[in-house]
Amino acid sequence: MSRQYDYLIVGAGLFGATFAYKAKQAGKRCLVIDKRPHLGGNIYCENIEGINVHKYGAHIFHTSNKEVWDLVNSIVEFNRYTNSPVANYKDKLYNLPFNMNTFYQMWGVTTPEEARLKIEEQRRVALVAMKEAGVTEPRNLEEQAILLIGKDIYEKLIKGYTEKQWGRNCLELPAFIIKRLPVRFVFDNNYFNDKYQGIPIGGYNKLIEGLLVGIETKVAADFFDNRTYWENIADKIIFTGKIDEYYESRFGKLEYRTVRFEEEIYDTANYQGNAVVNYTEANIPYTRIIEHKHFEMFGQEIDRIPRTVISKEYSTEWRPGMESYYPVNDNKNMSLYLQYKALADKELNVIFGGRLAEYKYYDMAPIVEQVINIANRGL
């Protein structure tokens, strides 16, 4: 029996939209559905006061893969935005990622050698303390972080922020969460090492709309509200939702962290002078403030719009009905996910893709790269 579509794509986020784009190029008939009232998934932007507001948290595209960069720029031109976050600890500002500017702000050191000696001195103290406790490997995130960067930076710039983010004491968090930290002994505030970086000119909606040109879409359409119907209109399904939900939580529910956003509009052209400011004290309830205009406006252009929009981000424990943002990749949840993955691997006509379907945190570029790889294997 010939079905109406070659692919039903469940979820109109970056994975779903990119897959639809590549499938259309291959001559396939696609329908993209999303339970939200808009396309774009978590990269959706809303225009407020002439500013593209990232409604589900800040998204910065970065990659060293030229094929990925060329693909997204063939849809919409990207700007020159460079992610250079700032950390606020007790009203003192520190540059991120940890670099010579940070070390100067923290200790007054001015050379890489001085900075290395300072960090090494604090690492030695931590190693001695662990040895006295009879342990050779870090037992938790706190011990791991201090071994990597020293006590001062850990206590001011990592501890409070991380505990707010995870809702748990650093002594209770596994060491593997922070196996690596970007540490640079140069005066460079660029957070990413990638060759290419930027934001779509006009916002991420331009990227999604461009990917989905000529493709049938339906919003406010929940796959699970009419599952039998949706499963029978296409030869194959691309599923980007929660893998445990697809399998009706037969082994139990996977856990997530979620984020709550508080938007505020100010009668000022420039609220904090930077797109991203982290608040690393434990007693400040939000983890960071995003000022959205800085993603797309630079220099004096910022003053062109006399108002600004900020979002305060609050990291909280996920409960049913909330948006699922970050998988909790501890042993319990990963063991549960592997049970679902074993089922998914046996599916002949369903492809699971994206952070919810793969229970994995993804940046945007690897999502695009993954879809390119799937397409190259043949759609």
Q: Which of 44, 288, 337, 340 is catalytic?
A: 288
Residue 57: the pLDDT is: 93
Tokens 């520190």 belong to which residue? 94
Q: Is 36 a catalytic residue?
A: no
Q: Which of 6, 152, 363, 369 is catalytic?
A: 363
Q: Is 313 a catalytic residue?
A: yes
Mean pLDDT in each 10-residue stretch from start to end of the chain (379 residues)?
A: 87 98 96 97 96 96 98 98 98 97 98 97 92 90 93 97 92 85 92 96 98 98 96 97 96 93 97 98 96 97 97 91 84 94 96 95 95 89
Beta strands (DSSP E) in the chain are 5-10, 30-33, 45-48, 51-54, 61-63, 86-89, 92-95, 196-198, 216-218, 234-239, 256-266, 276-279, 288-291, 308-317, 326-327, 350-352
Residue 330: the pLDDT is: 79
Residue 354: the pLDDT is: 95
Residue 2: the pLDDT is: 61
Q: What span, in angstroms and rounded, lies between the C-alpha atoms of 297 and 81?
A: 9
Residue 91: the pLDDT is: 97
Q: Is 288 a catalytic residue?
A: yes
Q: Is 361 a catalytic residue?
A: yes
Beta strands (DSSP E) in 199-307 are 216-218, 234-239, 256-266, 276-279, 288-291
Q: Is 124 a catalytic residue?
A: no
Q: Which of 143, 291, 296, 313 is catalytic?
A: 313
Distance of CA 177 to the CA centre of its chain: 15
Residue 312: the pLDDT is: 98
DSSP string spanning 73-135?
HHHS-B-------EEEETTEEEESSBSHHHHHHHH---SHHHHHHHHHHHHHHHHHHHHHTT-
- Residue 282, phi then psi, degrees to nearest 5: -65, -30
Residue 1: the pLDDT is: 52
Q: Which of 7, 36, 154, 184 is catalytic?
A: 184
Residue 77: the pLDDT is: 98
Q: Is 248 a catalytic residue?
A: no
